[in-house]
A and B are shown apart, each in its own frame.
Chain A
Amino acid sequence: MMETSLSKYILAIITREAGLVSGGGAPVFMARDKEEQEKIALYLTRITGGVIHDLENGVYILVKH
């Protein structure tokens, strides 16, 4: 049985600032501070199997590799 899955695909976006992200296919999660952002990202990475990447402007993306 072959497992088929998407790769190099943004699964979720976790941001501390609303204005930095808009539209797109991935759900956007708002975080109040860095600690909450880390926590949400960690939960999502464990659940989805994506890797957290830091765009260094307060936005984290979760990418399936």
Chain B
Amino acid sequence: MEDYLTATLLGSAWGLLTRYLMLKSDYRQFPGYPHGYVTHLSLGLVASLLGSLAIPAIFEKEFTAVTFLSLAATQFRDVREMERKTLSSLDMTKLVPRGPDYIEGISRVFEARNYLSMLMALIVSGTAYIFSLQAAIPVGLAVLLLAIRLMRGEVIQDIATVRPGEIRFKGPNLYVDDIHVMNLGSEGARQKVMERGLGVVIEPKDDDARSMLANAGQRMAIAHDAALQLGIYKDVDTPEFMPILRRDLDTGRVVMVIVPIEMDMECLLLAVSRVPVLESAYSRPLQSRAGAGAAD
């Protein structure tokens, strides 16, 4: 009896720790309010409690208890729904919206992190129960590090090179390098873009990257993250200063024009390089025979 208790407690604590570390590991994806912390830590605690109970339940031949795990899965699907709803409704009041793809990605991550805490709790409590408490700690550390490493997705700099681009106007038409971005009619707006605007060129490293950058949701995510980190010279009634990303159809390069508050090119390049590659944009045409053959 005593063994169950220690194993379960250790497992739950470990699961909760996992959830906490994952809340901290990704500041951009986290809502940031204290209430958000409470919600997600509580759900993490529930998940890890359920996970840590599974192995002792099996040893007690209480097989029905394990079906609780499936109940938990339903619960955590609601987490995704909850995050999606919250973030989508908040997105409408953002100057530079995240976009549906980014929100879907964040929601999925939040759901998956609960399963991860559950799994962590299961592994740690199982090890503690079957082997010993001393064995559980190193095993827990190992799987935790592994999980954090495996869950880290790719970022833009893994799939593309990000470099400064030159902004210029031909009449009312705005170009970055040779790529047409938009037609800007107002003289005042053109002056502001010339004074304060920064241009960035994102060059895909291969055909897979090219197709990922083609995704409009991925481009919205880049605009949102860049605007969030450097500030945006825009208000609700100045839509002309919305950061815009356009694709060069011939080469697959993507250019961005942004009018930030902080005109720091180094930081802008850094911000763009660190934007996560979204799950919905992630594609590998080179893996297919047709895709690889067509690419030569």
Contacts and interface: CB of A to CB of B under 8 A. Distances in A.
B contact patch SS: loop
Interface in A32-51: 38, 41-42, 45-47, 49-51
B296 interface: no
B237 interface: yes
Contact of B186 (A1, A41, A65): A41
A52 B236 contact: no
Contacts of A60: 185
A53 B183 contact: yes
Contact of A49 (B171, B172, B186, B236): B236
Contacts of B32: none
A38 B187 CA distance: 7
Interface in A12-65: 38, 41-42, 45-47, 49-54, 56, 60-61, 65
B153 interface: no
Interface residues of A, number: 19
A50 B239 CA distance: 7
Contacts of A52: 184-186, 189, 240
A38 B189 CA distance: 11
Given A3-B92, A46-B237, A51-B239, A56 B184 contact: no
Given A38-B187, A42-B186, A42-B188, A56 B171 contact: yes
Interface residues of B, number: 17
Prevailing SS type, chain A contact patch: mixed
A51 B236 CA distance: 12
A51 B237 contact: no
A45 B92 contact: no
A2 B91 CA distance: 11
Contacts of A50: 239
Nearest to B172: A54
Interface in B168-197: 171-172, 183-189
A29 to B, nearest CB: 13
A59 to B, nearest CB: 10
- Residue with the highest number of chain B CB atoms closer than 10 Å, among A1, A47, A51: A51
B183 A54 contact: yes
Nearest to B189: A52
Nearest to B237: A46
A56 B172 contact: yes
Contacts of B187: 38
A43 B187 CA distance: 13
Interface in B60-101: 89, 92
B191 to A, nearest CB: 12
18 contacts: A2-B92, A38-B186, A38-B187, A38-B188, A42-B186, A42-B188, A45-B238, A45-B240, A46-B237, A49-B236, A51-B239, A51-B240, A52-B184, A53-B183, A54-B171, A56-B172, A65-B239, A65-B242
